[in-house]
Chains A and B, each alone.
Chain A
């Protein structure tokens, strides 16, 4: 029960006294949303330059920062493997970078246990910026200065997108813990 939101526990019981959160939803919504977000950039548009930020990674950051302790520390490897299969990056880049991200956030969290929105955004910006640079470097393409210039908006976009994604993750979290299962 300690994983359930406090707000959900203290909600009015009058209307749904025999309802409880669905265990399936509780478990699978985070993973499903991250996998879906990994798929989206490939489906949006077939363009000549990289425009869409790495949504799968940003949603992972969102879940990790908005709801600490929910994702296990090792989850970067399997989720990253899926992202590598659909993103066009060489296989292994997201496995490595997502795992390193989760470890880094864990270390940051040990040092600053109490964090606010701005602190989270700052952390997410650092992570997204580093992720953008490293994934350009390991993409396996011969690096041209034009390529970096063209990919720069992608980095800015992924930094600016964090607040919106954090709100979306919070919404998804409410959906995850919604009382939908009837007991008895």
Chain B
């Protein structure tokens, strides 16, 4: 369709001026955007309060959408469950008889574990979560991987706190509003997490690749000891995460490490827990300028980590007893 005649200024001075002004304003808008972009790339936390307000406003809609989303997932699984009811029933009966045995064994292991910890005089009580929230959404259109949750400073959530689901680590609180918070997911290419192999002490960094997978980079270079199917857990280094929470399963080996898949997929998670920073005092002492202005790169500085910011010792004092 042709543009309306109001866009053609002709000889009218007034029309010419208004056309010129609109171009001027649009150009100024673009320049302003450029300046703000440079500012927010340079100081990522500069617009956090503004985003907090927008997040707070969006949370009620997001909660409703999240409830509908999980509801519809339940509907489909309900239909498939109805179709496969008979065979599933038999399989479940068999599974539960096996599971009963496993639970009994696990109880025994738990008791032994408690006894050994008591022997070592090591107290590691259960972590009380700061808040429990629903994931209301994520930055699905942007290459940054940021999730929004429905709790904020009113619930005691602060930047830096780890966010975990019942399966494993999801990420870390990046910015907070009054009733909402933004979570930097592990798969964001700015996220780095110190991990170790669950069964022994092979330490590595889990870096987000931006495509939903994690790149596992070993700290000690040499022969790659990782194997397919290994489970990586948080090592507790850096002081943000408590040690021993599942992070990733290795799906592919590379010369300097591996490629891992997340244990806790954000899309399959309804509720998440915000946990307190594991060693808050140590983190604060190391961060220098405080944890409010969180550096984008969250890893502790170690020799094979060229992009890391801030100097952090390789292991916090609390997990020394657990690792060795």
Contact = CB atoms under 8 A, between A and B. Distances in A.
Q: Do A and B come from one complex?
A: yes
Interface of A: 2-3, 39, 41-55, 66-69, 72-74, 76-77, 80, 82, 85-100, 102-103, 106, 109, 113-115, 135-136, 138-144, 146-147, 149-151, 154
Contacts of A88: 138-139, 141-142, 144, 146, 182
Contact of A49 (B2, B33, B187): B187
Interface centre among B25, B31, B37, B51 (most CB of A within 10 A): B37
A76 to B, nearest CB: 6
A53 B141 contact: yes
Interface in B38-84: 38-41, 44, 46-47, 50-51, 54-55, 58, 61-62, 65-66, 69
A147 B209 contact: yes
B143 interface: yes
- Closest 3 CB pairs between A and B? A88-B139, A96-B33, A92-B36
Contact of B26 (A39, A87, A90, A103): A103
Interface in B89-138: 135-138
Nearest to B63: A43
Interface of B: 1-7, 22-23, 25-41, 44, 46-47, 50-51, 54-55, 58, 61-62, 65-66, 69, 135-148, 182, 185, 187-190, 209-213, 262, 265-267, 269, 296, 307
Contacts of B144: 88-89, 139-141
Given A89-B139, A140-B296, A144-B210, 18 more contacts: A2-B4, A42-B58, A42-B138, A44-B140, A46-B267, A48-B185, A48-B265, A49-B210, A68-B2, A77-B25, A77-B33, A87-B141, A88-B182, A96-B32, A97-B33, A103-B26, A109-B3, A139-B142
Contact of B29 (A44, A76, A141, A147): A76
B257 to A, nearest CB: 15
A147 B30 contact: no
Given A92-B37, A96-B33, A142-B189, A73 B25 contact: yes
B37 A138 contact: yes
A73 B142 CA distance: 25
Contacts of A80: 29, 33
